[in-house]
Amino acid sequence: MKEKNILLRYLYKYKWKYLFGIITLFIVDFMHLYIPQFTGEITDGLESHTMDMNGVLLGIGKILLVGGILAIGRYLWRYFIFGSSRAIECEIRNDLFAHLEKLSMSYYNKNKTGDLMSHFTNDLNAVRMSIGPAVITAFDAVIMTIMVLIKMILYVDFRLTVLSVIPLLFIAAGGVYYGKAVEKRFAAKQEAFSDLTDQVQESISGIRVIKAFVQERKELKSFAKANMENKDKNMGIVKLQAIVMPSLDFIIGFSSVITLLYGGYLTIKGDITLGRFIAFNQYVNMLVWPMIAAGDSITFFSQGFASLKRIQNIFDEKPEIFDETAVKSIKHLEGDININDLCFRYSPDTSNVLNHISAHIEKGSSLAILGRTGSGKTTMANLLLRMYNVEPGQITLDGNDIREIPLKTLRENIAYVPQDNFLFSDTLRNNIAFGTITDDLDMVEQAAREACIHDNIMSFPLKYETMVGERGVTLSGGQKQRSSIARAFMKAAPILILDDSLSAVDTNTEEMILENLKKNRQGKTTIIIAHRISTIQNADNILVLDAGEMAEYGTHEELLKLQGIYADMYEKQQLEKQLEAV
C-alpha cells in the first residue's frame, strides 16, 4: 500500500462530508466577494447623490445578510471538514494501535517506546492538519484567488488587476522551494522529538535507579542534549518561516503600493469610480489571505506527507507471528506438550539460544526448568506462547504442531506469569481479572487467596479498588509477583507457566503458594521456571539447562543421584540455608 492510499481509504469514507464542506466553503468565498461590491455601490451612490438614506440602509442590510450567511457557512464547513479530519485522526490512531498489537516481539526489540509514542501524537496531528486546515487553505489559495481576480477584472479594471497581481506571482514560485525545504526539516524535527520522548520515558521509568546511583546530573545532561537537538531542529523550521513570512508581507505590501498609485491615477482620470477604487483595495486585501494560505497549505501538506510516510512505515511492518494457512479449527487445549529437538536463535546473526532440547509434558503433569542466568529458560516460555516461531514439529500441543493452532486458542489456554510481573495503572481488582471476561469480586478474592496476596490487599484502605502505580511501582516486589500469580490463577487455563515468579517471596509464602498450586492444578499442566530448587523439587520432571543445552532431565531424586549440575546447585543452596539459620 502506497503512502497516499492509506489516507485515501479514510478520506473515501468521509467523502460526502468533505464534499458538503467544500460546497459550503465555495458559497462562503463566493458571498464574501459581494461585501466590497456593496461598499463600492454605497460609496458611489453617496458621491453622486443618487442614493438616499433608504438606499444606504438597503446596502447595509445586504452586507448584514451576507455576514449572516458567512457566519452560518463558516460554522458548517468547520463542522464538515474539521470534524471529518478529527474523526479520521481518531480512526488512524485506533488502527495504528491495533496494528501495533499484531506486530511480533522482534519489532519491539528494535524500536523504542518514545519513537512509537511520537507517531501517536505529533505525526498524527500533522496528518490531521493536512486533511483539515490544509484543505481550507488550499481551496482558498486557488478558488478564492480565482474568484477575487475575476471580480476585480469584471467589476473594476483589467489593467489594474494585472499590475497588482504580478508581484503576487513570486509567492507561488517561492512556494515550490519552500514546500520541499520544509518537508525535509519537518521530518528531522519529528525524529528529534521521538528521541526526546524516548529519553523522557526511559528516564522516568528508571527514576529509582537514577536516584539510587546518584546519576541525576548525568541524566540531566543527557536530557539537555536531546532537548537541544529538538530545539535546533524546530529552529530550522522557524528560521525558514522567518525568511518566508516577511518576504510574503513585503510582496503583498508592494502589490498594495502599486494598487494605490495606479488605482489612484485611474480614479483621478475618471476611468474608474471612487467606489470601485475602494472596492478594489478591499479585493486586494482579500487576496492577502489566499496568498498566506498558499504558504500554509504547502507547509501543512509537506509536514503531513512527511508524517504520513513515518506512519506508513509502521503499517508496512508485517507480523512474523500470525495464523498460517494450515491452521486448524481448535478451540481448546488439553495440555499435553511435546518438545522435540528444539533449536532456536533470535536472529540469523546470533548463535543458538537453545540447542536440541527434548521433553514430554503429559497432560496434568508438571515440568520444572532450572538453569543459570542466560541458559534459555525464559526463551522456552516465549516459544510455548509462540512469541517467536520455531521450526515445524519442534513443539506440539495435544499432537498438533504449535503453528497449526490458532494464536487466540493457544494463548487463551495458557496462563503466564512473566519475570517482570507487569501490572497496569489500574485497580488491583482489574489487574487480577485482566485475563478473564469477568471481574467478579468473589473470583478475584479466591485467586488472591491462592496467591497469598489477599491479606495484603485487605490491609490497603481501598482494598481491591486500590490503584496500582505505573508498572506496579506502588507495590513491593513480592506483592507484584503475587498479584501476577493471582491473575494467572484466575484465568484457570489448562497450561500454566510460572517464569521465576516466586523469587521475591519468602520461603513460608512460597510453600503456601506451591501447596495451593498443587491442590488447584489437579489435571492441569504446569511449567515452573525457577532458580531455587525448593521451588521445583516436587515437580514430576525437572529439566536442567546449561548454556542452552539440555544438561540433565529427570525427577528430583534421579538428578541428585547423577551428582551433576543439579546436585551441585542443591548442595550450595542447602549450605546457604544453613548459614542463614546460623
* 323 in any annotated domain: no
Q: What is the CATH number of the domain that holds 27?
A: 1.20.1560.10
In one letter, which amino acid is 2?
A: K
Contact predicate 124/89, CB 8 Å: yes
- Same-domain pairing of 362 and 297: no
Measure the CA dihedral 80/81/85/88, to 10°. 50
How would you label 106-123 residue by residue, b for 16+ Cβ within 10 Å and e otherwise? bbeeebbebbbbbbeebb
Shared domain for 230 and 257, answered yes or no, is yes
Domain identity same for 223 and 366: no
pLDDT at 337: 92
Do the domain assignments include residue 565?
A: no
DSSP annotation string for 505-533: S-HHHHHHHHHHHHHHTTTSEEEEEES-H
Residues 360 and 445 in one domain: no
Label residues 11-32 b or e (16+ Cβ within 10 Å = b). eeebeebbebbbebbbbbbebb
Residue 581 pLDDT = 60
Structural domain containing residue 465: 420-492
Q: Residue 275: its pLDDT value, please?
A: 78
Q: Are residues 177 and 135 in the same domain?
A: yes
For residue 579, tell me if it sits in a domain.
Answer: no
Per-residue pLDDT tens over the stretch 504-515 = 778 888 888 888
Q: How many CB atoms lie within 10 A of CB 429?
A: 20
Q: What are phi and psi of 333, to 5 degrees?
A: -115, 140
pLDDT at 472: 63
If asked whether residues 487 and 499 sit together in one domain, one would say no
Residue 325 lies in a domain: no
334 vs 387, 389, 406, 541, CA distance in Å? 20, 21, 15, 19
Same domain, 291 and 362: no
Torsion, Cα of 368, 374, 376, 382 (10° steps): 100
Task: Work out the angle at residue 47's Cα, subtended by the Cα atoms of residues 46 and 49, and round it to the nearest 5 degrees.
Answer: 60
Structural domain contains residue 231: yes
pLDDT of residue 1: 41
Which pLDDT score, from 0 to 100, does residue 4 have?
Answer: 47
| Of 261, 287, 282, nearest in space to 172 by CA | 287
Which residues of the chain, if any, have pLDDT below 50? 1-4
Is 563 a member of any domain?
no
* Residue 218, phi then psi, degrees to nearest 5: -65, -45
Q: What is the distance between the alpha carbons of residues 82 and 130, in angstroms, rounded to a whole number?
A: 11
Backbone angles phi, psi at 495, to 5 degrees: -125, 135
User: Quick check: is 297 in a domain?
Assistant: yes
The pairing of beta strand 354-361 with beta strand 400-401: unpaired
pTM of the model: 0.74
Q: Which amino acid would we find at residue 20?
A: F
Element (H, E) at 289: helix 274-316
Cell numbers of 44, please? 458611489
CA distance 142 to 287: 11
Q: Are residues 477 and 511 in the same domain?
A: no
Q: Which one-letter DSSP state was computed for residue 156? A: I
H or E element at residue 185: helix 169-205
What local confidence, expressed as pLDDT, does residue 397 receive? 92
211 and 280 in a single domain? The answer is yes
Domain total in the chain: 3
Q: What is the CATH number of the domain that holds 536?
A: 3.40.50.300
Torsion from C-alpha of 107, 110, 114, 118, nearest 10 degrees: -60
Residue 581 lies in a domain: no
Q: Do 519 and 426 fall within a single domain?
A: no
Tell me the Cα Rg of the chain. Answer: 35
